[in-house]
Structure 1
Amino acid sequence: MGLLDRCQELFNTANLYEVLGISKGATEAEIRRSYYKVSLRVHPDRAPEDPQATDKFQVLGKLYAVLSDAEQRAVYDEQGAVDEEADVLSQDRCWEDYWRLLFPKITVQDILEFEKTYKGSDEERQDVIQLYAQHQGDIEAIMASVMCCSQEDEPRICSIIQEAIKSGAATAFKAFTQEGEGKKKARRKRAAKERQEAEELQKELGLGDEEDSLAVMLKQRQKSREQNFSSFMSDLEAKYCKKSAKTPKRGKK
């Protein structure tokens, strides 16, 4: 059974772009990021309850191999077909190794280095505005979703949003512009409790330097906001992990 047939069988669509939830005009970075997110959801180790997880994971690997290869993608875009004989679809490839080669694990030092360049950048501003629109002004959801963000960053994040509203780059949602003082106090109280717990854990473990402190913070965030923490790590790995060296292209078998 060919790749397109397998996609139809496992994902209910033979359109490679639809499987990843992206458009035909998606950039290489968007394809890579979407592949990571979708493959993470069906990874056999993370979805043991899905009897088709392994098959889905392998099919996604082949799908990405096609769309990430300029020649193979061009053939698919023009003809709506996949060259099953192409070397990128080699049946003896270990798709788990291929996936880990593309997405090596993120370390605490990677996060520290990324945080220094991300905070205050135009990229952060764009992400904040996008999340503001996505959550329709719900600052709690926004704060939980912005990467490398803590309660101390709220005034800065709100300032970004306010400037975007003022310039016309964002809609003035009532959830943001008219948020009640009670919600603000509850959010600050919750954040203070999380910070205190993190500090107590840090003292208990005898940790002191910046890297150890961040590790504690990440563990605390994972405990209190599991879903958003996972999303943060997914985005970070998909967008910023070091790319491995490209394998040399080979011709058809």
Structure 2
Amino acid sequence: MGLLKQCQELFKTSNLYEVIGVTKDASEAEVRRGYYKISLTVHPDRAPEDEQATVKFQALGKVYAVLSDKDQRAIYDEQGIVDEESDSIDQNRNWEEYWRTMFPKITLQDILDFEKSYKYTDEEKQDLKRVYEESQGDMNKIMESVLCATQEDEGRFRDILQGAIDAGELTAYKGFTHESATKKKSRKRKRKQQANQTEFNYLIANLEDKYCKKMPRASTAKKGKK
């Protein structure tokens, strides 16, 4: 699948700039920050069992690889296409390693700290409004797209968005103002299941780190004998 189609499927937009939350005239530094901010929320360290998060993380790496390359960015800006044969977006590239070359000291704690510094800020509010308009008030897409969003944030998000609608700042989409109870319950159940699975996997990982000795992999042992 091409990068643009993949972005449409994963992020509900094929616009590479929108994927990382910047404008077309964004500077290199702004593109880098946008990539950093979005990638933190789907980094494998944050939710190692979430396969879709891993796919999103890899796609974000490709988006940044395109927009950080002057020639590729120029082609995309002028023609709206991406050179899928480029080495920079090679399907077999190690995107975790690529990310580490730019942000080598980032840890899980840094990611958690980022969440704390981002929530309840004007930046979060602006991102929320942008996603609301892009998704035409679809709360499922809003909860999937806003950075660091959890089930506990939904009520707060609704209050912010309703206030903006009442103030004439946002369009009153029917999908938001008249969302069915069934859809709300389905979303809540799904996010609760995801949260429980994440908590369980982190618990197991912590227990393994604490009580299990780390044994060398078979492949590593073979290399050592050669």
| TM score, norm. by length of structure 2 | 0.52
| Number of the residue aligned with 2:79 | none
The structure with the largest alpha-carbon Rg is 1
| Number of the residue aligned with 1:151 | 151
Deviation sequence 1:85-130 (CA, Å, 0-9, x none)? xxxxxxxxxxx99986544464211111111111101110000000
Stretches of 4+ aligned residues off by more than 6 angstroms: 34-39, 96-99
| Number of the residue aligned with 1:230 | none
Matched, 1:63 2:84: no
Query: Judging changes above 3 Å, is the alpha-carbon distance between structure 1 residues 35 and 197 closer, same or farther for their aligned structure 2 residues?
Result: closer
- Matching of residues 70-149 of structure 1 within 5 Å: 102-104=102-104, 106-149=106-149
Secondary structure in structure 2 of the residue aligned to 1:163: helix
- Matching of residues 176-187 of structure 1 within 5 Å: 176-187=176-187
- Cα RMSD of the aligned pairs, angstroms, is 3.8
Secondary structure in structure 2 of the residue aligned to 1:168: coil
Q: Does the CA-based 8 Å contact 1:135-1:141 persist in structure 2?
A: yes
Output the amino acid matched with 1:41: K
Q: Name stretches of at least 5 consecutive residues in structure 1 with no aligned partner.
A: 1-18, 44-56, 68-95, 208-253
Q: Does the CA-based 8 Å contact 1:39-1:60 persist in structure 2?
A: no
User: Take 2:99 and 2:190, find their aligned partners in 1: how far apart are those partners?
Assistant: 37
Matched, 1:40 2:61: yes
Q: Which has the bigger relative contact order, CA under 8 A and spacing at least 6?
A: 1
Output the amino acid matched with 1:130: R
User: Take 1:119 and 1:35, find their aligned partners in 2: how far apart are those partners?
Assistant: 18
| Number of the residue aligned with 1:169 | 169
Deviation sequence 1:128-161 (CA, Å, 0-9, x none)? 0000011110001100111111111111111111
Q: Does the CA-based 8 Å contact 1:20-1:31 persist in structure 2?
A: no
User: Take 1:129 and 1:60, find their aligned partners in 2: how far apart are those partners?
Assistant: 24
Query: Judging changes above 3 Å, is the alpha-carbon distance between structure 1 residues 175 and 114 closer, same or farther for their aligned structure 2 residues?
Result: same
Q: Name stretches of at least 5 consecutive residues in structure 2 with no aligned partner.
A: 1-14, 18-22, 40-58, 75-94, 208-226
Query: Judging changes above 3 Å, is the alpha-carbon distance between structure 1 residues 42 and 111 closer, same or farther for their aligned structure 2 residues?
Result: closer
User: Take 1:178 and 1:144, find their aligned partners in 2: how far apart are those partners?
Assistant: 19
Indicate the percent of aligned positions where both proteins have the same amino acid: 45
Q: Does the CA-based 8 Å contact 2:143-2:154 persist in structure 1?
A: yes
| TM score, norm. by length of structure 1 | 0.47
